[in-house]
Amino acid sequence: METIQAFGEHALGLFILIGAIICAISTFGLIRLPDVYLRSHAATKSATLGVLIILSGSFFYFMFYLDHISAKILLGIVFVFLTSPVAGHLNGRAAYRTGVPLWKESVQDELKQVREHIREDA
């Protein structure tokens, strides 16, 4: 029983560490990638994944080892799930609308013509 418990703890610890590492890698992307849209991919979403992993790891740790079902962590997970895409969407849109250019090696931009079209109409 104790071995299982110890193993479980190690597993959870590793799980959490993996989450942290995913976060770290995404941050690396945040530094490395060339334009704001790409960075957005890396950062926001990959980080989200990492954080979700960490949160669930902690949740299970609390549940199994501290005998506490933390509704707040669950709520946190739901909230992050719910909100981070919206944040990413709005930020990307704002970037695009304020004229932040795409990376020079981007291959296509179908939004550009549409917006110009709308502008002419307006």
Partner 1 sequence: MMDTWLILSLAVLSLSILGCMYRLLKGPSISDRIAALDTIGIVLLAMITIVCAWLRTTTYMDIVLLIGILTFIGTIAFARYLERGEVL
Partner 2 sequence: MALQILLNFILAFVWMFLNNEWSVVQFIVGFLVGLICLMLLRRFWTYEFYLYRVWALMKLFLLFNKELLHSSLVVLKQILQPKLAIQPGIFAYETELKSDWEITLLACLICLTPGTLTLDVSDDNRTLYIHAMDIQDADLLSRQIKCTFEKAIMEVTRT
Partner 3 sequence: MSLLHMAILLPFLYAAALTVMRKPSLRFHTGWIILPIPVLLFVYFISCMASVQAGEELSGSIPWIPSLNIRFTVFLDGLGLLFSLLISGIGSLVVLYSIYYLDRKKEALRNFYVYLLLFMGAMLGVVLADNLIILYGFWEITSISSFLLIAFWHNREKSRYGALKSMLITVLGGLAMLAGFVLFYIMTGTFSLREIINNAGSVNDHTLFLPALVLILLGAFTKSAQFPFHIWLPDAMEAPTPVSAYLHSATMVKAGLYLVARFSPVFAGEALWFWLISVCGIVTLIYGSFQALKQTDLKAILAFSTISQLGLIMSLLGLGSAAAFYTDGSDSVFYAKATMAAIFHLINHAVFKGALFMVVGIVDHETGTRDIRKLGGLLSIMPITFTIAVIGTFSMAGLPPFNGFLSKEMFFTAVLGITELDRFDSQTLLRLFPVLAWVASVFTFGYSMMVVFRTFTGRPQFEQLEKKPHEAPIGLLLSPVVLAALAVVFGLFPNLLSYTLIEPAMAAIHPALLLPGDRFYVSIHMWHGWTPELFMTMGVAVAGMLIYKLHPRLSVLHEPLFRRVSLNLTYDAGIKLLHQGSLRMTNRYMTGSLRHYVIYIFVFLILSLGWGLYHYGAISVNMDRFAPVSLYEIVINLVLILSVIAIPFVNSRMKAIILTGAAGYMVTLFFVIFRAPDLALTQMIVETVSVALFLLCFYHLPKLEKEQTKPRTRIVKLAISAGVGVIMTLVALSASGSKLFESISDYYLRNSYVLAGGKNVVNVILVDFRGFDTMLEIVVLGIASLGVYALIRLNLASDRPEAVRKLDFANRLNKDRLPSNDVILRTVSKVAIFIILVFAVYLFFTGHHHPGGGFIGALMTAAALILLTMAFGMATIREVIPWDFKRLTAVGLLIAILTGAGSFLFDAPFLSHSFGYFNLPLLGKTELATAVLFDLGVYLTVIGITMTIILTIGRDK
Q: Write out the residues near partner 2 by the rule CB under 8 A.
A: 22, 25-26, 28-29, 32-35, 37-38, 40-42, 45-46, 48-49, 81-82, 84-86, 88-89, 92-93, 96, 102-103, 105-112, 114
Binding to partner 1, residues 87-116 (CB under 8 A): 87-88, 90-95, 97-98, 100
Say how far apart CA 53 and CA 23 lie, in whole Å. 10
Binding to partner 3, residues 18-57 (CB under 8 A): none
Say how far apart CA 44 and CA 88 lie, in whole Å. 7
Cα dihedral sign for 55, 60, 63, 64?
negative
Q: Of the ranges 71-79, 104-112, 114-122, which one interacts with partner 1 (CB under 8 A)?
A: 71-79
Binding to partner 3, residues 57-96 (CB under 8 A): 75, 78-79, 82-83, 85-86, 89-90, 93
Binding mask 33-62 for partner 1 (x = CB under 8 A): ---x--xx--xx--xx-xx--xx--x--xx
Q: Are 77 and 84 in contact (CB under 8 A)?
A: no
Total residues belonging to the chain: 122
Q: Are 1 and 38 in contact (CB under 8 A)?
A: no
CB of 4 to partner 2, least distance (A): 26
Please tell me the number of Cα atoms within 13 Å of 56 on its side-chain side.
12
